[in-house]
Amino acid sequence: MMTSPDIPLRTHCPLCGPAPSGLLWEDAQLRVIRVDDSPFPGYIRVIWRSHAAEMTDLSPAERDHLMRAVYRVEALQRQMLQPDKINLASLGNQVPHLHWHLIPRWRADPCFPDAIWAPGHHDPVRQAAWQQQAQDLSARVPALHDAIATTLKGT
Ligand SMILES: [Zn+2]
């Protein structure tokens, strides 16, 4: 594996070290984390465990392992929450340690069709509709988390 030339960053990296809260599953190479502090139901992060910044810092086999986990989680999000779209994002501008955001999206959600990091819409009718939908979806999220843990354990 190539290493990124950012040793000073590594020492302060929040993704190096012990598992963050919300751990659903881990193996020697990656962790699957539920994101609880988000208004987007079913939001999951897949975090590579060693400190690497870019996908091409990984060997081809490591990349495949990471993306297989991402695709398994995506498939379960689609199956269990029926979103209008899945957003896969690997940014790492703030924390240059490989992690994928897997974000189910709905046409009524606060930012659609923009990225979830965009300023939200402030249409009260839309907000009210989303409140109800988000509540219904949130009730289904624990089953998604169970399915992720169970499915990945079997791989
Ligand atoms: Zn790191």
pLDDT digits (tens, 9 = 90+) for 69-118: 999 999 999 999 999 999 999 999 999 999 999 999 999 999 999 999 99
64 Cα–ligand 1 center, Å: 20
Q: Where are the domains of the chain?
A: 7-153
Ligand 1 center to 130 CA (angstroms): 35
Nearest partner of 47 among 103, 92, 87, 99, judged by Cα: 99
Distance 7 CA to ligand 1 centre (A): 10
From residue 16, alpha-carbon distances to 1, 29, 62, 129 in Å are 17, 12, 17, 39
Q: Specify whether the CB–CB gap between 68 and 17 falls below 8 A.
A: no
Q: What class is the 7-153 domain?
A: alpha beta
Distance, CA of 146 to CA of 123 (rounded, Å): 34
Average pLDDT taken over every residue of the chain: 92
Asked if residue 57 has pLDDT above 60, the reply is: yes
**Distance, CA 77 to ligand 1 centroid (Å)?**
26
> In this structure, what token pair is assigned to residue 4?
């990124």
- Tell me, what's the pLDDT at 2? 52
Taking the centre of ligand 1 as the mean of its atom positions, its distance from the CA of residue 50, in whole angstroms, is 7
Give this prediction's pTM: 0.90
Q: What beta strand segments (E) does the chain contain?
A: 23-26, 30-34, 44-48, 85-89, 99-105
How remote is the CA of residue 27 from the centroid of ligand 1, in Å?
A: 16
